[in-house]
Chains A and B, each alone.
Chain A
Amino acid sequence: MLNISGIREGFVLDHIQAGMSLQIYHDLKLDALDCPVAIIKNARSNKMGKKDIVKVECPVDALDLEILGFIDHDITVNVIKDDKIVEKRKLHLPAQVKNIISCKNPRCITSIEQELDQIFLLTDEKREIYRCKYCEEKYRNPNRRKSNTPPQAAGHQT
């Protein structure tokens, strides 16, 4: 078992699909944080076979985790304070995502006016369908898991 030391305050993002941790690192803009970040790839998991884990040591209000719900709302978010898990935060599909994905429709106004924010709205929560705010082009998350059953929470262990 690979050992990464615990964190005093911050987040442990567990049950990330194997291979997705770097995307999460970028989308959460963790590179801009001046704090310890540990990325564990391909950790063994009884539930998932392989999984990624991201540990971030930072004040709990320093990160906007809403975007995680868009990337994969089955990720387990453990909030750590004083070395203990104080909260297991439930992720939801955000009603709107801004500048995370781009519209691929060549007829969309965003294809010619680059300064426009790329905004997608959740139009079908059940089927997890987002549509471009401007042209309504459908976006379906390629990382969506087949099963909507959240994995078992595994605390803050690797």
Chain B
Amino acid sequence: MRHLMSPLDFSVDELDRLLDLADDIEKNPAKYAHTCDGKKLATCFYEPSTRTRLSFEAAMLNLGGSVLGFSSADSSSAAKGESVSDTIRVISCYADICAMRHPKEGAPLVASQKSLIPVINAGDGGHQHPTQTLTDLLTIRSLKGTLGGLTIGLCGDLKFGRTVHSLINALIRYPDIRFVLISPEELRIPSYIREDVLTANNVPFTEVERLDEAMPQLDILYMTRVQKERFFNEEDYVRLKNYYILTKSMMELAKKDMLVLHPLPRVNEISVEVDDDPRAAYFRQAQYGVYVRMALILTLLEIDVNEP
């Protein structure tokens, strides 16, 4: 039995197979509509997350399965002091697979150690959010046709953004990847990513502050939100929250086939006028999130639709 705790849990080959499956699901949804008949997904969300939870639920419903679960710690037995280990032992009796989000880092790993069913980390604090990374990879591969040979601009909060760190870790496994890291001085990429990941693996990268200067060279622009909860000082947040706003005029500097991605929710870092640009891929990205979660559920449940 396998769990998913980090995007790097899958080898590149396994990841290719997962993305191939997601691709096939996108093209032939009817083929998969009853692959999980009679199976149940438990969504154990100890903190609210509308998007991720609904994406998991949509994925399981699309496969013909059912869902059960809770959407905040208040409505679970955690409020009575039950440990994650005890909760998952019980959930294992009710469901076939579990997606867990928890504010404490490592909680899904604790669950996986006691679980009788596969556990998917649906986000643990500022630590990992592997299905977002899988979503990003599927989106890039589907819309660009490849995960190699790309110049990827990562823009905004590169210091605290776990999606950015995970994406870098996942993409450096592909050939000829180059990063342009666009951030204000205060939100630059942490040194352990710069040195231990990028430099250590000889991945070319540049660090710049101006988005407009970086735009012409990018194949992908990955925008992130400056998250208020990461700042101790309100003044710093106010100063930095509008540091980058992607506008229609700025899009004119970009390649004709550049893609704009964003893990969502956006606040104001992408102007709504960009939404109608065919290069704006962030809402399609949410759709790919459902496909990749469907593929993940099938993979972890070891359901092979092609088996006789």
Contacts and interface: CB of A to CB of B under 8 A. Distances in A.
Interface of A: 105, 107-113, 115-116, 124, 132-138
B105 A135 contact: yes
Nearest to B102: A109
A116 B106 CA distance: 11
Contact of A109 (B110, B126, B196): B110
B185 to A, nearest CB: 23
Given A105-B105, A108-B105, A134 B110 contact: yes
A119 to B, nearest CB: 10
A134 B125 contact: no
Given A134-B109, A135-B127, A108 B83 contact: no
Interface in B95-112: 102-107, 109-110
B84 interface: yes
A135 B83 contact: no
A133 B109 contact: yes
A134 B107 CA distance: 7
A135 to B, nearest CB: 4
Tell me whether chain A's interface is mostly helix, strand or loop, or mixed: loop
A63 to B, nearest CB: 29
A126 to B, nearest CB: 11
A153 B106 CA distance: 42
Chain B interface size, under 10 / 10 to 19 / 20 to 34 / 35 or more: 10 to 19
Interface in B108-145: 109-110, 124-127
A7 to B, nearest CB: 42
A12 to B, nearest CB: 39
B127 A113 contact: no
B168 to A, nearest CB: 15
A129 to B, nearest CB: 9
B110 A108 contact: no
Interface in B178-199: 192, 196
B105 A134 contact: yes
A108 B109 contact: no
B84 A107 contact: no
B169 to A, nearest CB: 12
Contact of B104 (A109, A124, A137): A109
A113 B83 contact: yes
Interface string B64-96: 000000000000000000011100000000000
B177 to A, nearest CB: 23
B218 to A, nearest CB: 30
Contacts of A137: 105
B106 A133 contact: yes
Most central of A112, A135, A138 by chain B CB within 10 Å: A135
B53 to A, nearest CB: 20
Contacts of A136: 105, 127
A113 B84 CA distance: 8
Contacts of A133: 106, 109
A53 B124 CA distance: 45
A134 B5 CA distance: 10
B83 A134 contact: no
Contacts of B104: 107-109, 111-112
12 contacts: A107-B125, A109-B84, A109-B102, A109-B106, A109-B109, A109-B110, A124-B196, A132-B106, A133-B106, A134-B105, A136-B105, A137-B105
A73 B125 CA distance: 34
